[in-house]
Structure 1
Amino acid sequence: MSTKYSNFLFYILIILFFGFCASKIIHFNANDKCLQCKQIYGDAKLNIPRRFLATPQTFEKFFLGECYEMEMNKVPYWVFCYDLYNNHTKVLYNSIIEKIHEDSVCAQINYCS
């Protein structure tokens, strides 16, 4: 197989993969984002073992593991977990430490109005 042909197939696969991933994100509306933010944050606030709140780094590792577990278990809102992890880990960590209610946190990160 020629290199040009291999590269072409590689790029097609990448485009298809990212198109598939984007379609999973796009079909959620603003209300879904708000509800899922509250669900993920509320669960984390109630269920996270205290040892994972020792430092932002331990929280980050725990949170990434939870997102991965959601994805593997095909939890419908796993995409939001990764979005929260990638964009708002520091806010979530500080909010859990300060025991801030999920309505306030999700409004602060513009998931809820």
Structure 2
Amino acid sequence: MSGPSPVRRLLRRLASTPDELEASELREGSAASGCTPVGQCRRGQLVSVSGRLRTVVYPPRTTAPNLEADLYDGSDVVTLVWLGRRSIAGIEPGRALTVSGRVAVRDDRKVIYNPYYELEPPR
């Protein structure tokens, strides 16, 4: 079988919330790009993940420069931390990107420090 019928897909879209539709779209995009779903990433694993930035935290001038952003791929969230940076052009909420790096765990949250990243074209 090739999947659900067009009518069933339409009914599912009509019955879904906007958050569910976004999560589904992000999961499909991540799978199409060949990236690992964040929900399957484990500590110490070298991964490539793709998703959309939900939040970006710009540090105040009085603290150490560490730019943090939460990347959501429809399955889970990973926090991206760029050490020694206060801002990066293109790293902004709502931006889609693909990142690569080693997964760490900090305060029971998945984190990738100083990830290699590729910005996706804006929609």
* Structure whose residues are more often strand by fraction: 2
Say which one has the larger Rg: 1
Could you say which structure has the greater relative contact order, defined with CA pairs below 8 angstroms and 6 or more residues apart?
1
Q: Same fold (TM over 0.5)?
A: no
* TM-score normalised by L of structure 2: 0.22
* Structure whose residues are more often helix by fraction: 1
